[in-house]
A and B are shown apart, each in its own frame.
Chain A
């Protein structure tokens, strides 16, 4: 804060005098975002979890395939005698270290969330913008698709697609290099890498429509604005008009939608793998760890807490960041 030399009044364009240093849009948003303390804390926490899971092989106390049933459900800080490693958060029913599995699981769970949110926002924004700008047949087609997808119940369809596409690889052939990339990125085996790709695709298919509807509505309003007409009369082409003048003005709600779909995809992935339709054991995800925790809840009461808290923290953090960004980007959207 102390380093900031910007004067608050400068942000109001109307009374900015010629020589006064004006604040850029990004700086303005960042200054407003910083005021939302919970959002900042969430940002820090999420970054930390991201980094930890990114360097999981280095920071995790155990190897991912370590198991020893004689050490099942050990309490916090138990020392593993043969090697001297420490079960910091205890172990599960096979004596696998919970912290290690949480870190590796975060790679899967968080990558799915980030990928689904990015893909559905990119696809949704593109289609929505094109439909809103050009109108005509593209718009009609989009509206029909939106009518159709809004009429089908999300979770049941999601479960069907996931369960069938996951059981039969022939139904959805994936290019080899895609699964390779995911194998390397998530440190899982080919089967699980395939599951992750399928889940990302399925969640994106169900998720892009909301963003498309939002973008289309915003573009419809913006395309009639005077500055768009002005640019067009100056001879600007459609593509640069959309990219330079329309998109920046509809970006704020899309960014907010991005954080919301992060939270949504995160919840959907945990629910899917909890129900047994997502990434399967022995690969760890937070959802299937939660399912193990519940199956053994009578024997062990610590594991549900150890697995549940990260789920809670991330889900709250996604929502707080969304809230903070919404307030920072566009105070009018405040609920």
Chain B
């Protein structure tokens, strides 16, 4: 068990490193980001930017450094200046980036302090000692959960702070939706398996099949159309089409006035997105519970339990249900990563101020934020797989980890 855990921990770490490196490389080469914003501002000519603005931005976000160095600094916060060994500064003159590139095709001659001359296509190289510049941001590194500062969405705000503000709405939405889905799906699945081929089973299989085939996109927009717009047109109590709280007080037929920002307002806004998400997970899960319950009901030990003369409710709850829950564990643990970024489409449809939507916004050019969300959700996915494996041994002692 211990060797298993250690091996998995190492592999999780390796995968995270690989993902972070690949994503960092993609973002490093991607257009957009703060420099493009400045270029657009300069082109539009409305804003007067002094000549140093570009340099300052480059320094601020480490944009002048070479990819490898920048990645190292982002990941670990190292190097933050010349390497000190025994009180002596080493490598302070090593070039690690380029603040200003030479016009394309031209070479410039650089002269080092010790007199050596080299040809380079960089006008102003950045040396290791330049990392001491107070304009640069000191980062503890992504490994210690310091993902730097946001570059576009909320300028200069630490990424972790931004994520924290968006975490609560996502957790609330996904938490309630998943909880409701489990509470409803499990009994429905069991009942329709126990009463296989009954009218109830027929209805459940039909509805869940349609439900699981229905795209979230369609369901969400139809939800807005019917429950916010058509109901409002008809003068009935309606649900808000978007956001997590109202900007101003709203008057709803039958429900009365809803004060913006009150508890009632929050609940009112939760209903529609939660229903959509619940329905989507509900349909898949109840199908799953039904089929795994049907599988178990065919087993010999269920027949034995019946032959012993146990009450049917006892047979189902004690002997069949508990065993049918074993495969369900994996499904449940799969919820964990979706708590974080699983609701990207739903959050976008309902303009829900959560992490999924933050991620979509961040991909528009705020790459530090996108990196952080990607890495955290990858981490959660990997951890949830590990958790599923460990939980398997708990619910089913026949399984051993090796």
Residue among B32, B210, B229, B374 making CB contact with A301, cutoff 8 Å: B229
- CB neighbours of B18 from chain A (8 A): 148
Is B391 interfacial (CB-CB < 8 Å)?
no
Is A93 interfacial (CB-CB < 8 Å)?
no
Is A163 interfacial (CB-CB < 8 Å)?
yes
Which of these binds chain A: B76-84, B88-96, B212-220, B316-324? B212-220
**Per-position contact with B for A292-335: 1 when CB-CB < 8 Å, else 0?**
01100110010011001001100110111001000000000001
Is B328 interfacial (CB-CB < 8 Å)?
no
Instruction: State whether A159 touches B344 (Cβ < 8 A).
Output: yes
Q: Which residue of A lies closest to B32 (CB)?
A: A167
- CB neighbours of B221 from chain A (8 A): 290, 293-294, 297, 304, 308
Main secondary structure of the interface of A (DSSP, over half): helix
Is A164 interfacial (CB-CB < 8 Å)?
yes
**Per-position contact with A for B37-64: 1 when CB-CB < 8 Å, else 0?**
0000000000000000000000000000
Q: Which residue of B lies closest to A323 (CB)?
A: B209
Which of these binds chain A: B65-73, B121-129, B376-384? B376-384
Q: Which residue of A lies closest to B370 (CB)?
A: A160
Is A147 interfacial (CB-CB < 8 Å)?
yes
Is A171 interfacial (CB-CB < 8 Å)?
yes
Is B373 interfacial (CB-CB < 8 Å)?
yes
- CB neighbours of A274 from chain B (8 A): 217, 345, 348
Q: How large is the interface on B (under 10, 10 to 19, 20 to 34, 35 or more residues)?
A: 35 or more
- Within B347-380, the residues touching A (CB, 8 Å) are 348-349, 359-360, 363-364, 370, 373-374, 377-378
- CB neighbours of B215 from chain A (8 A): 267, 270-271, 311-312, 315
- CB neighbours of A270 from chain B (8 A): 215, 217
Is A263 interfacial (CB-CB < 8 Å)?
yes
- Give A152 to B344 CA distance when docked, in angstroms: 15
Q: Which residue of B lies closest to A315 (CB)?
A: B215
Q: How large is the interface on A (under 10, 10 to 19, 20 to 34, 35 or more residues)?
A: 35 or more
Instruction: State whether A151 touches B377 (Cβ < 8 A).
Output: no
Is A173 interfacial (CB-CB < 8 Å)?
no
- CB neighbours of A312 from chain B (8 A): 214-215, 218
- Give A335 to B31 CA distance when docked, in angstroms: 48
Is B197 interfacial (CB-CB < 8 Å)?
no
Is A44 interfacial (CB-CB < 8 Å)?
no
- Give A168 to B217 CA distance when docked, in angstroms: 27
Instruction: State whether B224 touches A297 (Cβ < 8 A).
Output: yes
- CB neighbours of A85 from chain B (8 A): none
Is B258 interfacial (CB-CB < 8 Å)?
no
A171-B29, A311-B215 known; A155-B344 Cβ under 8 A:
yes
Q: Which residue of B lies closest to A263 (CB)?
A: B213
Instruction: State whether B218 touches A150 (Cβ < 8 A).
Output: no
Instruction: State whether A277 touches B225 (Cβ < 8 A).
Output: no
Is B108 interfacial (CB-CB < 8 Å)?
no
- CB neighbours of B374 from chain A (8 A): 153, 156-157, 160
- Give A167 to B363 CA distance when docked, in angstroms: 11
Q: Which residue of A lies closest to B23 (CB)?
A: A160
Q: Which residue of A lies closest to B27 (CB)?
A: A164
- Give A214 to B349 CA distance when docked, in angstroms: 34
- Give A274 to B218 CA distance when docked, in angstroms: 11
- Shortest C-beta distance, B337 to chain A (Å), equals 6
Is A16 interfacial (CB-CB < 8 Å)?
no
Is A94 interfacial (CB-CB < 8 Å)?
no
Residue among B31, B209, B217, B378 making CB contact with A311, cutoff 8 Å: B217
Is A185 interfacial (CB-CB < 8 Å)?
no
Is A51 interfacial (CB-CB < 8 Å)?
no
Q: Which residue of A lies closest to B233 (CB)?
A: A301
Q: Which residue of A lies closest to B287 (CB)?
A: A335
Instruction: State whether B30 touches A168 (Cβ < 8 A).
Output: yes
- Give A199 to B32 CA distance when docked, in angstroms: 20
Tell which of B15, B18, B221, B224 has the most Cβ of chain A within 10 Å. B221
- Give A320 to B364 CA distance when docked, in angstroms: 37
Is B11 interfacial (CB-CB < 8 Å)?
yes
- Give A161 to B29 CA distance when docked, in angstroms: 12
Residue among A156, A164, A171, A316 making CB contact with B341, cutoff 8 Å: A156
- CB neighbours of A151 from chain B (8 A): 12, 15, 378, 381-382, 385
Instruction: State whether B225 touches A304 (Cβ < 8 A).
Output: yes
- Give A221 to B337 CA distance when docked, in angstroms: 33
